[in-house]
Amino acid sequence: MLDTPLSSLIRTTKSRISTLESRGIQTLRDLLLNLPWRYADETEFGTVEQLNALEPMSVQGEVLKVSSIKTRNGKYMLRGVFSDETGKIDVMWFGQAYLKQVFAKNQKVVLTGKVKFASGKKTMVSPKVEVVKVNQDLMHSGRVVPVYHEFEQITSKWLREKIYPLLYATKFFEENLPLAIVDSFGLMPRSEALSQVHFPDNEESLQNARHRLGFEEMLVIQLGVLKRKFDLKSNFEGNAKALLIKKQWCDQYLDLLPFELTAAQQKALKEILEDVASLTPMSRLVEGDVGSGKTVVAFMAMFLTVCNKKQAMLLAPTEILALQHYKNAMKMFKDLNINAQLLTGSMTKKQKEQVKMGLRTGLIDMVFGTHALIQDTVDFKDLALAVIDEQHRFGVSQRAFIKRFGGPHMLSMTATPIPRTLALTIYGDQDLSIIDEKPAGRKEIITRAVPEKKRNEAYDWIRSQIQSGRQAYVICPLVEDSDAIESKSVTSEFARLRQDVFPDLKLALLHGKMKPKDKDQIMLDFKDQKTDILVSTTVIEVGIDVPNSSIIVIEDADRFGLAQLHQLRGRVGRGEYQSYCFLFVNSFSESTRERMRAMVNFTDGFKLSEIDLDLRGPGEVYGFRQSGIPDLKMASLTDAKLVKAAQEAAELLMQEDPTLEAFPHLLAEVYKGVKEIDL
């Protein structure tokens, strides 16, 4: 029944069937699973007397007479008189002559619209019409009305008219959750939820239906994450290398630091040390805002690994970041007998072979590198710890590859602040440590949304800052000019700034289409203060520290989400100087104003990520392919209670059968939605 093609089930045109099929709606099942994205509360009826020009209102009554009039331009206008117990009102429709066939004298109808004044009289112009039929509920008014995503000739009204008479078929949907879960968590049965979510009896039924279907969506995500965690552990045989944690070693490392650890760093460190002292391989993600001190914590774990006479590696997404970590380690451990090396793609074959030999023989204690570290030709004598920086740049397959080096402890880091509910969802196969506290004494970055009329003032101020020794970034969303998108390109902006605005200063251009070697050289020149202004795309989002840069200008800031704007802002404020972020925007929409206000008012990345998630949803914020989060129809990732309940249910099911083969319906959903998520 549910797999019946729509073409043999509903009366409509071939064109509409083709449009539905292009959207993946081919069968009755697909149609009933095409859920509303919002609802209009039209439960209350007004009266003719109450109709006004301020807000649309639904009124129920009779059509007394209808006549069609040909207008001067040859089109038809339909005129009628509508009546209820409070009075009469003129009604007119343009270009909808077919309505004359719908109305009969004294036909009961519901009209929805606003009043306008036409020829000095109160008139309803082109109101929505629904005929009241005996023994049939209203579909478009007088209830909580479902609103669907519309595309081409497929309107919400059309979908309601096709779905409503087919609602009986929701009873054929099998229950895909174990009954114990349905009962334990007080969930509405699936078939009932699917019926109520389309045409709810009342507000309470709608909320229960949405909760049930949202729970199901969230449960599938949680199961996918937990199953991935189980599969990764199952594919690794043997124990991890439990590290000995000596107080004297910890004290020795802490003495190397010119500052005290924050409470958040200490907590993360305690969690990491407990993990690495265990025979169970650590799989932990340290999530912290820009400048929160994640690397300091990771370096201590690497130092303790070397104290245990074992090897540690740090994997970074770019050569320049790997080099920065390597230089920082050399500086920190310069007086200790630690052999740290670098391995990247741009090194010569001979240099690479020397490092690989050192890793195989155990002569090298620590290695910092890029993807060059996770090749078949690389092997370790005794790798006990792998640190992955900016872990979202690497996939599940790369983490699985590292496991072949004897199943080391794995510590991932990300500077992308994510709300805890979302982090537990997409990174649920790892334990989570959050560093949500900045080191003392760090100056907040002053952020301003700059109106276009003050652009030249901003440029003058930037020049004065550069003349006093500082440096600046200018960020553009596009590499080259585009006919399709009205936005500044980095190439044209670089040319304009160099020629017309800052001809007296040294500018450099940077974007993702350049060769990695060239990009790294441009960044190093900027770090070495050979350049005053770096005009770049978001390629600098994950970049090296340039303590002397104190200004970042973001052009077309409305084209970026809050999470990305915050990441870009974090390129400055890394030194002793007061830093500034200037946002230039093209859009004046309310959502843009709201986001810019948030950037000006908040410097906490976690707070901004929550606002961003609420405003734009997970797909927009993190990218579906990056996060592995499907297009959620009912669940909200900001609903902490729902996320927690789904996690609890997922853990119960995994305890019962970690392969999920006992729950074939759910396993099919997990495979359909997750497969291999690139985290």
Between strands 471-475 and 446-449, the pairing is: unpaired
**Tokens encoding 132:** 């009241």
- 146: β partners: 39
As a whole number of angstroms, the distance between CA 31 and CA 627 comes to: 27
Domain boundaries, the chain: 44-142, 247-277+292-414, 446-602
In sequence order, what are the residues at sequence separation of 6 or more whose Cβ sits closer than 8 angstroms to the Cβ of residue 120? none
Q: How many beta carbons lie within 10 A of that of residue 95, not counting itself?
A: 11
Eight-state DSSP code of residue 242: P
DSSP state letter for 500: I
Partners of 89 in beta bridges: 82
Q: Do domains 247-277+292-414 and 446-602 have the same CATH topology?
A: yes
What are the tens digits of pLDDT across the range 417-452?
A: 777 667 766 666 678 898 888 777 778 899 999 988
Helix H or strand E encompassing 322: helix 319-332
What does the alpha-carbon distance between residue 301 and residue 413 come to, in Å, rounded to a whole number?
A: 13
Over the range 543-565, which residues count as b (16 or more CB within 10 Å of their CB) and which as e?
Answer: bbebebbbbbbbbbbbbbbbbbb
Superfamily of domain 247-277+292-414: P-loop containing nucleotide triphosphate hydrolases (3.40.50.300)
According to CATH, the topology of domain 446-602 is Rossmann fold (3.40.50)
DSSP assignments along 98-147, one per residue: THHHH--TTEEEEEEE-EEEETTEEEEES-EEEE--TT---SSSSSEEEE
Q: Are 100 and 70 in contact (CB under 8 A)?
A: no
Looking at residue 518, what is its pLDDT?
A: 87
Buried-state track 203-224, b at ≥16 Cβ within 10 A, e below 16: eebbebbbbbbbbbbbbbbbbb
Q: Determine whether 459 is exposed, middle or buried from the number of CB atoms within 10 Å of its CB (0-12, 13-18, 19+).
A: middle
- For the whole model, what pTM was predicted? 0.66
- Report strand pairing: 283-288 vs 431-435: parallel
What is the number of alpha carbons within 13 Å of residue 415 lying toward its C-beta? 22
Q: How long, in residues, is the chain?
A: 679
pLDDT of residue 158: 87
Beta-strand (E) ranges in 348-400? 366-369, 383-388
Q: What is the pLDDT of residue 125?
A: 82
User: Which of the residues in the chain have pLDDT under 50?
Assistant: 483-484, 620-628, 675-679
Helices (H), ranges, 483-589: 490-496, 516-527, 562-569
What pLDDT does residue 265 have?
94
Taking alpha carbons only, the member of 405, 381, 412 closest to residue 306 is: 381
The radius of gyration of the chain's CA atoms, rounded to the nearest angstrom, is 31
The CA distance from 619 to 610, in Å, is 14
Strands 87-94 and 76-84, by their bridges, are: antiparallel
CATH number of this structure's domain 44-142, picked from the four choices 2.40.50.140, 2.30.30.230, 3.40.190.10, 3.40.50.300: 2.40.50.140
Q: Quick check: helix, strand or coil at residue 567?
A: helix
Tell me which amino acid residue 514 is.
Answer: M
Q: Are strands 409-414 and 144-147 parallel, antiparallel or unpaired?
A: unpaired
Which pLDDT tens digit goes with each residue over 544-573?
788 899 999 999 998 888 888 988 898 898
